[in-house]
Amino acid sequence: MKPKNKVPVATIVDANNKELMAIRKIAGENGELVIRGKIFGAMPMVAKLTPAEARAALKLIDFRTFLFLLTLLFRKT
């Protein structure tokens, strides 16, 4: 019997490495970025990011942080 493929999960942790959110799916729907997951491992959540909020979030990122984000994708854990 083949084991079922697990859905990849990205977790967001706090300063004490305790799980705050497990992200199970990120997708574009109706012109918004929709993030689905669970908060604190129990409560299902759907978060939506509108284009205006995405532009506002990008204003928070300076050049140094932008470079860090690019290199973060290629770092080992």
What's the CA dihedral at 53, 54, 57, 63 to 10 degrees? Answer: -160
Q: Is the pLDDT of residue 76 over 90?
A: no
Q: Where are the domains of the chain?
A: 10-72
Instruction: Identify the H or E element spanning 69.
Output: helix 63-72
Q: Is the pLDDT of residue 4 over 60?
A: yes
Q: Which pTM does this prediction carry?
A: 0.75
